[in-house]
Amino acid sequence: PSARTFYQEVGGAPTFARLVAHFYAGVRRDPVLAPLYPQDDWAGAEARLRTFLEQYWGGPTTYSDARGHPRLRMRHAPFAIGPAERDAWLRNMRAAVDSLELTPEQDATLWGYMEMAARSMQNRWPDD
């Protein structure tokens, strides 16, 4: 039998739906982040992040079926992401992860990834 995925271990689709709903509720009210997002397609943005994260953690491949290879750094190139944007994204994601009440081990796994990924999406530095 194949190993249980992290996606399954944390509760599957309902868990990722809660995570991303909580995250975007915060983003929509965040003065640094909200202006970057498509104001007429919040539901679409939520679905893209949700399906990406599900796929990354071993769930269904719905994201790539719809969007192809993630190429996330390239897809973030149109947005100026400096330290303020990165930190705001992580602050909202931290609150969303807290809302899940994962075990400490699960939390560390998910959060370690989020910190690494947010650092790798930064594309502006203060002295540019």
Residues found near ligand HEM in the complex (CB under 6 A): 33, 36-38, 44-45, 48-49, 52, 67, 72, 75-76, 79, 81, 85-86, 89, 117-118, 121
Tell which residue, 28, 34, 72, has the closest CA to residue 53: 72
Q: Measured from the CB atom, is 11 or 123 closer to ligand HEM?
A: 123
Return d(Cα 6, Cα 110) in angstroms, integer: 9
Question: What DSSP designation does 6 have?
Answer: H
Q: Return the beta strands (E) in the chain as ranges.
A: none
Q: Smallest gap, in angstroms, from Cβ of residue 69 to ligand HEM? A: 10
1 or 64, CB closer to ligand HEM?
A: 64
Residue 2 or 115 having the CB closest to ligand HEM: 115
Cα–Cα distance for residue pair 128/114, rounded to 1 Å: 25
